[in-house]
Amino acid sequence: MKFSAIRVGLVLQALQVYALASNSVVNLSHYDLMRPDFAAMRQEGIVAAIHETTYPPFTRDERYAQRQQDAVRAGLLWGAYHYANDRDPIGQAEYFLRTVEHARAIAPPGAKPSQVLLVLDFEKNKHYPGRTMRVDQAVAFVERIRERTGKYPGIYGGENHLRALMNAPTATSAQRAILGRCWLWVANYHVEPAAINPWGRWTMWQYTGDGVCDVRPRADYPKSIANIRNAERNIFRGSAESVRAFWQEHGWSPGE
């Protein structure tokens, strides 16, 4: 009886998420070595793809530009993220934007995204030179993005990491207020993320990556998409149509 009650509770929780959300966004980086089948992704319900664009130390993701073209040709919305470290946040923001601009400028007609959704990858830095970006540096980064584009980027990170940063005594109320103007993309491969100050509810939830996903019921949270076996998949808080409206509102049109 106890097991059944727990199981029913998990099912109801999943139904509540799915009633208000869509499993419609995938993210990629140069670590994904295959050639993604974006047309198949679209047939399987994916509406948008977000790709790593730049990472420390001031390096372009060599797969970004071609995949942007392939995804746009397949009819997907496009997003770009920068993986941050603790060095020169203004320089990182400028390099990120220049790379996004260049990739769009060299794309042929029919392969240019109308809007690019921008994201700061504010996770714990385990892969690249330098340490993890601090809260004050994240503020400097997002403010430069806003100055240059008129849009605040999204903030991405693991739930526990973001919660620890935002609750730390070194994070000021002014800094939290600025970061709270960004939309939240949070990773948790075990359970749906709880509200995080200063954002409250998440806009997008990455529930699986690198083949890891403990969220239940299992059948409702697939780990693969198209020809990618261990994909990084995301639930958007809203319908597929809402995803398109969100891109329209928060995306940037480089060069326009």
pLDDT in tens, 115-135: 999 999 999 999 999 999 999
- 87 has pLDDT over 70: yes
Q: Determine what percent of the chain is predicted with pLDDT higher than 90.
A: 90
Answer yes or no: is pLDDT of 202 > 60.
yes
Place of tokens 């809007």: 115
Q: Give the residue-averaged pLDDT of 85-91.
A: 98
Omega prior to 198 cis, within 30 of 0: yes
Structure tokens at 224: 């693969």
- The DSSP letter of residue 48 is E
Cis peptide leading into residue 36 (ω within 30°): no
Closest CA to 256 of 140, 153, 113, 123: 113
pLDDT band with cut points at 50, 70 and 90 for residue 15: very low
Mean pLDDT of 42-55: 98
Better pLDDT: 171 or 6: 171
CA nearest neighbour of 121 among 70, 157, 148, 169: 157
pLDDT, mean of residues 167-189: 98
pLDDT of residue 17: 52
Residue whose C-alpha is closest to residue 205's, from 224, 223, 191: 191
| pLDDT at residue 12, as a whole number | 42
* Cα radius of gyration (the chain): 18
